[in-house]
Structure 1
Amino acid sequence: MKMNEIIRKGLKRLSKKKMFLMYTAMLLASIYTAGNPKVQVRDSHQESERGINIEF
């Protein structure tokens, strides 16, 4: 839920290219964490931090 809020806020600020790169990175991260349940918690925290770093 928090990731979606971050993305929605970011979409208004970012250009279409940055938006697309961020979205694809999110997709790849979700696919990776889905395939590796053991690292899901750690990766979700890391990805949220990366998302914030990309956004600002």
Structure 2
Amino acid sequence: MALKITQKKGLVGANPKQRKNMQSLGLRRINHSVVRQDTPIVRGMIQVVRHLVVVEEVAGE
């Protein structure tokens, strides 16, 4: 199982922890999408920035 993560809001006003989590997820700009494995670590990073991203489950590796 994999997760498609899309950044929907900008990082203006975000705290440093949120900025680092977005960078770790590989998101760089609004409407940028990445596909990551569904692991507890990735879920934790998404939880920190849940108000800035949209997450979809996709089939695949």
State the TM-score bracket (shorter-chain normalisation): 0.3 to 0.5
Question: Which structure shows the higher strand fraction?
Answer: 2
- Structure ranking higher in helix proportion: 1
Bigger CA radius of gyration: 1
Q: TM-score by structure 2 length?
A: 0.34
TM-score, normalization: structure 1?
A: 0.36
